[in-house]
Structure 1
Amino acid sequence: MSKSEPIFKVIFHCQGQVYEMYAKQIYQSDIWGFLEVEEFVFGERTQMVVDPSEERLKAQFSGVARSFLPLHTIIRIDEVEQLGTAKIIEAKGSSGNVMPFPMPVKPV
């Protein structure tokens, strides 16, 4: 893994789905309660097989310079050595194990 260019795997919950994406920049936003994610990374088209889930994400986030994710939607962030496949997974209902993390109320 090169120390100069880390890659982060970001897993977050959005509209009943779990997104697993890769980005080069992640940091706390100036907007309270949000995380900024920049420079999304998608796999190269070096294979004949195209993953429709990754292509859907690529189309959805094309032209996006920066995303602001609410902190309570973040499930996990990992610094990884290799780029994986970005994907969308259908979240299970209330009996599933994916739940938004409760947010504290901002002190006045």
Structure 2
Amino acid sequence: MTFLNAGKVYELYARRVAASSLWGFTEVADLVFDAKEGVVVDPTEERLRDEFADTRVLHLPMQSVVRVEEVDRKGLLSIRDASTGEKVVTPFPLPAKPR
């Protein structure tokens, strides 16, 4: 599932995508993320998991949906800038330099 949100393109995986009971919306449910524990390999996935942690169902306006694909295997999640297509990654926080 690829959709636009606040000038960014989100790529998520979900087990269920359907027409919403709300007119003009697409319903996205059962979001798929990798294991919740262990070493963080991809900070983007952790950011998305945190953002959608308590989400049961997303109701997206139909015009924000870019693409819906059925896949056999989950790939990498991403957030991209809508105008440039570049990945939007929050830099890993570094410890402050002692003064």
TM-score, structure 1 as length reference: 0.72
C-alpha separation in 1, matches of 2:37 and 2:73: 16
Q: How many residues align?
A: 85
Query: Which residue does 1:91 correspond to in 2?
Result: 82
Give the match's secondary structure for 1:57: helix
Unaligned runs of 5+ in 1: 1-9, 97-108
More strand by share: 1
Mean Cα displacement is larger for which, 56-65 or 46-55? 46-55
Unaligned runs of 5+ in 2: 86-99
Give the aligned CA root-mean-square deviation in angstroms: 1.9
Give the 4+ runs in structure 1 shifted more than 4 A.
45-49
Query: Which residue does 2:96 correspond to in 1?
Result: none
Query: Which residue does 1:37 correspond to in 2?
Result: 28
Q: 1:71 is aligned with what amino acid?
A: M
In the alignment, structure 1 residue 15 sits paired with structure 2 residue 6: yes
C-alpha separation in 1, matches of 2:36 and 2:54: 18
Query: Which residue does 1:24 correspond to in 2?
Result: 15
TM-score, structure 2 as length reference: 0.78
